[in-house]
Copies of this chain bind each other. A is one copy, B any other.
């Protein structure tokens, strides 16, 4: 399976520490050697770095680890291919415009029958189930909200109901952002943690790196990180339940269905995405 990494923060924050942990799994401590990508929002604009090569060998990934780009919303992905060839058009995240905003999407899992998802004029460019699901989500949003909506909480609730449909087709772990909000949806593997004062130290699982967040932050900072597997060994990550969605804004959880869901056993993911 692939791995996801997302961030929501109340001040522009760099994600070098977490990305350094994730990218080791791109062929070194993990089997995700079929490309990687990361999208940073800065205001309404974004920039994406991506490479169909293994992350741990990539000169571009090296730059992203060492060059702190500060952002309030980030989505990243490392790929172990299953549906679609290993090439740039199949490398996550995917970004498209809707309502004068750029939406960025990354997916972990596999969907059966994805070819039947009707995307109308939101046409996929590559061959993955993931991009087709993203285009279908945009089409559903376009149908229900032909004009830019005012109430974004309603929009994210509607997206969650669409994700419930996608979950019926297989494994659908997802990160989605419009640069303002960051949404996570879980079928089986997604964890999150919110860091705020008092900040402590954290140690990466995948690389011999420790960070003292107290030295890197100011007391008002709130930063949430979402990942397929916990990235640090000495912090308490919250595991999401099957069918759970969370919406973060400026680092804080503002919308979730977690309280409504029962604790049920997790189905194991099949490899690939």
A96 contacts B by Cβ under 8 Å? yes
Which residues in A have some Cβ–Cβ distance to B below 8 Å?
42-52, 59-60, 63, 67, 87-91, 96-97, 99-102, 121-126, 142, 146, 148
A51 closest partner in B (C-beta): B47
Q: Are A59 and B50 in contact (CB under 8 A)?
A: no
Nearest-CB distance from A52 to chain B (Å)? Answer: 8
The answer to whether residues A59 and B48 also contact, given A87-B42, A102-B125, A123-B99 and a CB cut-off of 8 A, is no
Residues of B with C-beta under 8 A to A88: 42-43, 45-47
Selected contact of A91 from candidates B45, B96, B100, B126, CB within 8 Å: B45
Nearest-CB distance from A87 to chain B (Å)? Answer: 5
Copies in the complex: 2
A91 closest partner in B (C-beta): B45
Selected contact of A63 from candidates B63, B121, B123, CB within 8 Å: B63
Q: Are B44 and A89 in contact (CB under 8 A)?
A: yes
Residues of B with C-beta under 8 A to A45: 87-91, 125-126
Nearest-CB distance from A48 to chain B (Å)? Answer: 7
A142 closest partner in B (C-beta): B121
Q: Are B87 and A43 in contact (CB under 8 A)?
A: yes
Selected contact of A125 from candidates B44, B59, B121, B142, CB within 8 Å: B44
User: Could you give 17 example pairs across A and B, Cβ below 8 Å?
Assistant: A42-B87, A42-B88, A43-B89, A45-B88, A45-B90, A45-B126, A47-B50, A47-B88, A48-B48, A49-B49, A60-B67, A63-B63, A97-B122, A97-B125, A99-B123, A121-B146, A123-B148
Residues of B with C-beta under 8 A to A49: 47, 49
Q: Which 4 A-B pairs have the closest CB atoms?
A: A45-B88, A45-B89, A100-B123, A44-B89
A42 closest partner in B (C-beta): B88
By CB atoms of chain B within 10 A, which of A90, A91, A96, A121 has the most? A121
Q: How far is B63's CA from A47's CA once the two chains are assembled, in angstroms?
A: 15
